[in-house]
């Protein structure tokens, strides 16, 4: 009787779709598949989706992976889930019945509820490492329980749970209502020092403790997933950007990387101390019963989502957008501030509209070029803050994700005056989960890059563009 080969299963639940992967014990991708889902925008600043569609996609992908495992005589060692972090929803604890849409991280309809707590913003940021914002859990909870009193009463008596999309999915897959620390940090309910729900924070948002899933480290026993004749443990649940950093540099303190997907992120492994950094988010990077590392992160709300937005604004069919090609030979001296999804790090403003300066609005490609440059400007602003915590300037910064295209990486190399590397492996987020499951997260692994972009922009031109960006932020009353 021969020994079956080991397999690790990873679900990567993102903003616009869910991906599934099977890795072998050496980190080779044996199987990958994706199912997309639609986002609904019922009103300005409202972005939501149907949780059942996402859950069904997860189940469909799991069945496909089980079929592949059976066909290829593999043994599933364990599974992991990585997910978008600030998409929150309500569901019933016992039945699993969905009680609300999944309110996207892009959604800022609860700006009024966030503004009401403005006098507590510093206290909240100090306790949680996360700014008070309509994009996060606390204001979303207040908004929806004001709109629907039954949600409020059912959450207070423990019948209904409020939590991130990841907790709903893992609950439905295993029957266990847990939420991991890295994603729970986006709730505004967790004390970063203790990694526990904080009574003072819960009181601020009138959030009952028994209406929350139970907290777990990112690496823990989340229960078993049962599909057909298979039963295998879910051993990690972790935020997508946390997983991306681990997939690029491992769990090595002091490392820095970038990831550009629907949103963008500049990530720094701060090691075992959670201390805050002005303008950025501090959250749990990864943890188990014996260790906890913290992530310092700057988030860019409008990355690939910016080009989806411009498809609507400019009436460009999705297949014709090809933003990198449209930008390639296009020059602009203008500035585009993508307000439609709010600005995250380091400005934290929501409920605003797009602001354009010195752009020919009759030239779609100039607007797209200025949009691409806005990603670079925001990344530069974030990096300038993080660089103060970095012991030494990196010789090269790795970047992953579908938005990490040559034009953007060259622009970033020019703004930062540091070479940018495009990671050879496309799905670093899923690979980060594999590294955790296989026990290789602490391995020091050279990030393999298939392209390196070195600075070529003249220093005066670079400074002029940055000065114009900051001047326009002042015109828009953001600075």
DSSP letters, 393-438, are: --S-EEEESTT--HHHHHHHHHHHTS-EEEESSS-HHHHHHHHHHT
- pLDDT class of 228 with cuts at 50, 70, 90: confident
Question: Which strand (E) or helix (H) includes residue 24?
Answer: strand 17-24
CB atoms within 10 A of CB 361: 11
- The answer to whether residue 449 scores a pLDDT higher than 80 is yes
The whole-number pLDDT of residue 120 equals 98
Please give the average per-residue pLDDT across 351-371, as a whole number: 95
pLDDT digits (tens, 9 = 90+) for 112-149: 999 999 999 999 999 999 999 999 999 999 999 999 99
Buried/exposed code over 212-235 (b: 16+ C-beta within 10 A; e: otherwise): bbebbbbbbebbbbebeebebbbb
- The answer to whether residue 85 scores a pLDDT higher than 80 is yes
- The answer to whether residue 1 scores a pLDDT higher than 90 is no
- Please state the pTM of the whole predicted model: 0.91
Strand partners, 282: 296
Q: Cβ(436)–Cβ(414) under 8 Å?
A: no
Closest by CA to 372, choosing from 406, 327, 413, is 327
The whole-number pLDDT of residue 240 equals 94
- pLDDT class of 299 with cuts at 50, 70, 90: very high
Mean pLDDT, all residues of the chain: 95
- pLDDT class of 390 with cuts at 50, 70, 90: confident
Q: Cβ(273)–Cβ(291) under 8 Å?
A: no
Q: How far is CA 223 from CA 162, 198, 231, 467, in A?
A: 20, 25, 10, 52
SS (H, E, C) 193-213: CCCEECHHHHHHCCCCHHHCC
The whole-number pLDDT of residue 424 equals 86
pLDDT digits (tens, 9 = 90+) for 94-109: 999 999 999 999 999 9
pLDDT digits (tens, 9 = 90+) for 30-57: 999 999 999 999 999 999 999 999 999 9
- pLDDT class of 379 with cuts at 50, 70, 90: very high
Closest by CA to 432, choosing from 270, 285, 264, 224, is 285
Residues in the chain: 479
Q: What span, in angstroms and rounded, lies between the C-alpha atoms of 289 and 278?
A: 29
- The answer to whether residue 387 scores a pLDDT higher than 80 is yes
- The answer to whether residue 391 scores a pLDDT higher than 90 is no
CA angle 352, 355, 359 (to 5 degrees): 165
pLDDT digits (tens, 9 = 90+) for 261-288: 999 999 999 999 887 678 999 999 999 9
Please give the average per-residue pLDDT across 226-255, as a whole number: 93
For the chain, domain boundaries: 5-236
Q: Say whether the peptide bond before residue 346 is cis (omega within 30 degrees of 0).
A: yes
Looking at the chain, the whole-number percentage of residues with pLDDT higher than 70 is 99
Q: Cβ(281)–Cβ(346) under 8 Å?
A: no
Q: What span, in angstroms and rounded, lies between the C-alpha atoms of 138 and 251?
A: 29
Q: Which CATH superfamily is domain 5-236 in?
A: ATPase, nucleotide binding domain (3.30.420.40)
pLDDT digits (tens, 9 = 90+) for 309-327: 999 999 999 999 999 999 9
Closest by CA to 179, choosing from 322, 287, 32, 331, is 287
Please give the average per-residue pLDDT across 17-27, as a whole number: 97
Strand partners, 24: 7
Please give the average per-residue pLDDT across 72-87, as a whole number: 96
- Residue, of 462 and 448, whose pLDDT is higher: 462
pLDDT digits (tens, 9 = 90+) for 325-352: 999 999 999 999 999 989 999 999 988 9
Closest by CA to 232, choosing from 1, 472, 10, 468, is 10
The whole-number pLDDT of residue 2 equals 59
The whole-number pLDDT of residue 289 equals 93
């Amino acid at each position: 009787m021969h020994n079956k080969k080991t397999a690790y299963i990873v679900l990567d639940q993102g903003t616009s779709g869910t991906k599934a992967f099977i890795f072998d014990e050496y980190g080779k991708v044996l199987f990958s598949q994706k199912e997309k889902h639609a986002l609904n925008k019922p009103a300005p600043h409202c972005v939501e989706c149907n949780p059942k569609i996402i859950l069904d996609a997860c189940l469909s992908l799991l069945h496909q992976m089980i079929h592949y495992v059976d066909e290829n005589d593999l043994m599933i060692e364990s599974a992991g889930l990585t997910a978008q972090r600030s998409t929150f929803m309500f569901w019933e604890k016992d039945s699993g019945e969905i009680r609300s849409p999944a309110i996207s991280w892009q959604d800022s309809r609860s700006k009024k509820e966030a503004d009401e707590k403005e006098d507590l913003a510093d206290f909240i940021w100090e306790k949680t490492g996360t700014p008070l914002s309509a994009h996060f859990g606390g204001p979303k909870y207040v908004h929806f329980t004001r709109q629907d009193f039954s949600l409020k009463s059912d959450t207070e008596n423990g019948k209904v749970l409020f939590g991130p999309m990841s907790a709903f999915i893992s609950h439905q897959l295993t029957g266990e209502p847990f939420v991991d620390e890295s994603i729970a940090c986006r709730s505004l309910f967790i004390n970063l020092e203790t990694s526990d729900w904080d009574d003072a924070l819960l009181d601020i948002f009138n959030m009952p403790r028994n209406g929350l899933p139970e907290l777990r480290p990112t690496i823990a026993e989340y229960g078993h997933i049962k599909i057909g004749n298979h039963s295998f443990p879910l051993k990690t649940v972790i935020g997508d950007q946390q997983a991306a950093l681990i997939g690029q540099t491992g769990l090595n303190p002091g490392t820095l990387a970038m990831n550009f997907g629907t949103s963008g992120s500049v990530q720094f492994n701060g090691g075992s101390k959670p201390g805050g950094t002005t303008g950025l988010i501090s959250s749990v990077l990864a943890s188990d019963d014996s260790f906890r590392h913290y992530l310092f992160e700057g988030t860019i709300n409008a990355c690939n989502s910016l080009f989806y937005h411009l498809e609507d604004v400019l009436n460009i069919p999705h297949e014709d957008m090809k933003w990198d090609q449209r930008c390639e030979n296009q020059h602009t001296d203008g500035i585009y501030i993508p307000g439609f999804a709010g600005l995250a790090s380091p400005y934290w403003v929501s409920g605003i509209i797009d602001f354009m300066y010195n752009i020919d609005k009759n030239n779609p490609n100039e607007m797209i070029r200025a949009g691409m440059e806005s990603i670079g400007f925001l990344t530069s602003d974030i990096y300038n803050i993080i660089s103060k915590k970095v012991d030494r300037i990196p010789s090269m910064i790795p970047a992953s994700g579908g938005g990490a295209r040559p034009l953007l990486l060259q622009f970033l190399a020019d703004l930062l005056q540091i070479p940018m590397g495009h990671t050879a492996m496309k799905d670093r987020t899923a690979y980060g989960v594999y590294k955790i499951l296989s026990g290789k997260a602490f391995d020091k692994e050279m990030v393999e890059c298939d392209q390196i972009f070195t600075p070529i922009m003249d220093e005066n031109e670079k400074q002029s563009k940055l000065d114009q960006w900051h001047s326009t932020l002042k015109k828009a009353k953001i600075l």
